[in-house]
Amino acid sequence: MQAIRTLRTLTFALIVGLPIAAIAGDDAATLYERLGGWAGINSIVSDTIAAHRANPEIAHYFEGVDVDQLEAHVTAFFAAGSGGPDKYAGRDMTTTHSDMGLSDADFDSAVADVLAALDKNGVGPGEKAEVAAILESLRPAVMGTASPGG
C-alpha cells in the first residue's frame, strides 16, 4: 500500500511540476541528483533516443524528427520530472503523442529502451525502479487514455 501511495504522490508531483525533493524531504537526494543531474539525464536521454531510432518496432516514429530538438525537450521533461531545478515548459504528454497512434506494444518497447539506457549509464536498481514506475504512470497520458483531471 505504501508503494501505491508513493507512486501516486510522485505522479501528482510530476503533473503539477513539483520538485520531487519537495515531497521527499530536504535531506533526501532527488532522483535528478541520483541520476547525475542534467549531464547524467542528458546522457540517458541521448542513449534512449539512439535506441529508439535503432529499434525496428518504433524507429518509424523517429523518421524526419529533429533529434537535437527532441533530445533537448526530453531532457528538460525528464530533468523537471525527476526533481531538477527547472519547471518543464513544453507540451504535455497527451498533446505530444496524440497523433502517433501508439500501441501498448510500442509503449512497452520504448520503455525497454529507456531501461536499457539506464543500465548503459550505470543507474542503480532503485533508481531504475523509480524511473520505470514514473514511466508506467505516464502510460495513460502518452496513450491518450487519461481521464480528464486525473
CATH of the domain at 111: 1.10.490.10
Q: Please indicate, yes or no, if residue 137 is contained in any of the structural domains.
A: yes
pLDDT tens across the length of the chain (150 residues): 444 444 545 554 555 454 444 444 455 899 999 999 999 999 999 999 999 999 999 999 999 999 999 999 999 999 999 999 988 888 888 877 877 878 899 999 999 999 999 999 999 999 999 999 999 998 998 888 766 554
Report how far Cα 108 is from the mean position of its chain's Cα atoms: 13
Q: Please indicate, yes or no, if residue 50 is contained in any of the structural domains.
A: yes
Write b or e for each residue in 80-97: b if 16 or more Cβ atoms lie within 10 A of its Cβ, otherwise e: bbbbbeeebeeeebeeeb
pTM: 0.78
Q: Please indicate, yes or no, if residue 149 is contained in any of the structural domains.
A: no
Q: Please indicate, yes or no, if residue 117 is contained in any of the structural domains.
A: yes
pLDDT of residue 127: 96
Range of the domain at 41: 2-143
User: What is the rounded distance in angstroms from the CA atom of residue 136 to the CA atom of residue 42?
Assistant: 20
